[in-house]
Amino acid sequence: MDNNATTPLDPRVLDEMMPFLTKEFGNPSSTDHQYGLKALKAVDNARERLAKLINANPEEIILTGGATESDNLALQGVARAYSTKGRHIITCSTEHKAVLDTCRFLQTAGWSITYLPVDEHGVVDLEALESSITKETVLISVMFANNEIGTVAPMTEIGRIAKEHEIFFHSDAAQAAGHVPIDVDEIGLHMMSISAHKCYGPKGIGALYVRGHNPRIRPAPLIFGGGQERGLRSGTLNVPAIVGMGKTFEIARKEMGLEAQRLFSLTERMRQSFELNFNASLNGHPTNRLPHNLNMFFPGIESKAMIQSVEKEVAISASSACTTQEVEPSHVILALGFDANRAHGSVRFGLGRFNTDEEVDYATSAVSGVARRLLNIRSFETFTQPGLG
Ligand SMILES: *Cc1c(COP(=O)(O)O)cnc(C)c1O
């Protein structure tokens, strides 16, 4: 139940990939023969499927090695291509490290970055956004959905503000693509990062949507070479992974609605149980959040202890996969205005396509059992050692 970190490969995706891992090994850039032509056709098909999911044109899809690379291409690429317009980027304090650390790097290169605050539900402050815009502002980058607490950003409003001020708008949609409906035109996005492995596709493959018309945007490439992907990302295409990503988002487009309903009712069931039995409270927006994500604070419980105690039966996590190794409290929970105590007592559940209702009930009772035990140990300790409580 850690599907916000990664997901298992859907068997239907593997089925479509298999031929391209075995007999169809052509290079889509070598089209003087059938091998390359077949590979090119498969890549084009995947590109079309991905474009259809987000209402883009296939030419606007730049294939990358994942959302981290897409975020880097978007931010560093715009910084390199548009520095004459200004040197200011606006982003959000709850972003993924792929955006935050890229911004930190750009700061060392002379860019100024505004990290917008969020409210107690993790929703970006739109007034702060408007008032932080200057003549120097080139780009707004706000994640579509948060990877720790699932909060979905007010994308249409941000898009409207960006358009009004003629500023480019990028979004890291690694958690949103294939899980919630996305229309890049309606929102007015100029760039958007996508990852396959958060949606039952293979790891190491993703895309950056790059707007090609009104207005066209052209980030500078980070990787030079054979000129693939309209020169924005050189290197021989990973055909099996690309085919897999195409199938991933074709399935998602068709099944997202029902899947979201099912998973939201399951996360709600878990939430109610934890609220009732442990006085737990939700981190994130009560309704504007990813249907499959549930992040809860358990008062009096160390999330590390809980996670380790259920680890053999149920896989849950403290925060994002990328920061779990750190002892520092989650920057996302802190950004909501809570203290380190809340961050250390919060647990993330990421439900997925292959979790059954029975598994969710099993996990709920396993976690509850551990929570009861930890609370008992704690009250025993405070009772016997009042000075150390
Ligand atoms: C997982 C994730 C990433 C990184 O994606 P990769 O494809 O693993 O590089 C970036 N941003 C968010 C919000 C994520 O959840």
Domain that residue 302 falls in: 256-383
Q: Are 133 and 165 in contact (CB under 8 A)?
A: yes
245 and 289 together in one domain:
no
Dump pLDDT digits (tens) for 248-281. Answer: 999 999 999 999 999 999 999 999 999 999 999 9
82 and 122 together in one domain:
yes
Listed in sequence order, the DSSP H helices in 153-238 are 155-164, 184-187
Q: What is the CA radius of gyration of the chain?
A: 22
Please give the pLDDT value at position 383.
Answer: 58
184 and 47 together in one domain:
yes
Six token digits for residue 320: 């994002």
Cis peptide before 215, with omega less than 30 degrees from 0? yes
145 and 261 together in one domain:
no
**Domain assignment present for 115:** yes
94 and 144 together in one domain:
yes
Dump pLDDT digits (tens) for 10-32. Answer: 999 999 999 999 999 999 999 99
Six token digits for residue 270: 């878990």
Show the 3-state SS of 4-21. CCCCCCCHHHHHHHHHHH
**Boundary residue ending a domain (231, 251, 271):** 251
Cα-to-centroid distance, 33 and ligand 1 (Å): 36
Cα-to-centroid distance, 174 and ligand 1 (Å): 5
Residue with CA closest to ligand 1 atom 9: 68
176 CB less than 6 Å from ligand 1?
no
Longest CA–CA separation in the chain, Å = 80
65 CB less than 6 Å from ligand 1?
no
Residue 381 — pLDDT band, cuts 50, 70, 90?
low
335 and 211 together in one domain:
no
261 and 347 together in one domain:
yes
Please give the pLDDT value at position 115.
Answer: 98
Angle between helices 239-278 and 357-384 (to 10 degrees): 50
CATH code of the domain containing 268 = 3.90.1150.10
**Domain assignment present for 5:** no
**92 assigned to active site:** no
206 CB less than 6 Å from ligand 1?
yes
CA distance 359 to 365: 10
* pLDDT tops 60 at residue 325: no
Percentage, residues of the chain above pLDDT 90: 93
**Boundary residue ending a domain (216, 251, 286):** 251
Taking residues 32-40, what's their average pLDDT?
97
Taking residues 211-225, what's their average pLDDT?
96
* pLDDT tops 50 at residue 388: no
Q: Which atom of ligand 1 is nearest to the CA of 70?
A: 9
54 and 161 together in one domain:
yes
Q: Which atom of ligand 1 is nearest to the CA of 197?
A: 7
Residue with CA closest to ligand 1 atom 1: 174
Please give the pLDDT value at position 183.
Answer: 98
**Domain assignment present for 295:** yes
How many CB atoms sit inside 10 A of residue 220's CB?
16
* Residue 201: closest CA among 4, 12, 63: 12
Residue with CA closest to ligand 1 atom 2: 174
137 CB less than 6 Å from ligand 1?
no
Q: Which atom of ligand 1 is nearest to the CA of 68?
A: 9
**Boundary residue ending a domain (251, 282, 299):** 251
174 CB less than 6 Å from ligand 1?
yes
Query: What single letter denotes the amino acid at residue 377?
Result: I
**Domain assignment present for 6:** no
CA distance 110 to 103: 11
348 CB less than 6 Å from ligand 1?
no
CATH code of the domain containing 187 = 3.40.640.10
211 and 62 together in one domain:
yes
* Residue 146: closest CA among 100, 77, 78: 100
Residue 141 — pLDDT band, cuts 50, 70, 90?
very high
**Domain assignment present for 216:** yes
Six token digits for residue 71: 């975020």
CA distance 283 to 83: 37
Cα-to-centroid distance, 146 and ligand 1 (Å): 10
99 and 175 together in one domain:
yes
**Domain assignment present for 2:** no
Tally of CA atoms within 13 A in the half-sphere of 53 that contains its CB = 32
188 and 265 together in one domain:
no
**Domain assignment present for 375:** yes
Give the residue, out of 100, 142, 147, 194, with the most ligand 1 atoms within 8 A of its beta carbon, to mutate for a pocket test. 147
Residue with CA closest to ligand 1 atom 14: 174
pTM of the model: 0.95
- 93-103 per-residue burial string, b: 16 or more CB within 10 A, e: under 16: bbbbebbbebb
**Domain assignment present for 273:** yes
CA distances from 257 to 13, 126, 145, 174, 265 (A): 19, 28, 17, 18, 13
What is the pLDDT of the chain when averaged over all its residues?
A: 95
* pLDDT tops 50 at residue 122: yes
Dump pLDDT digits (tens) for 181-194. Answer: 999 999 999 999 99
Number of domains in the chain: 2
186 and 51 together in one domain:
yes
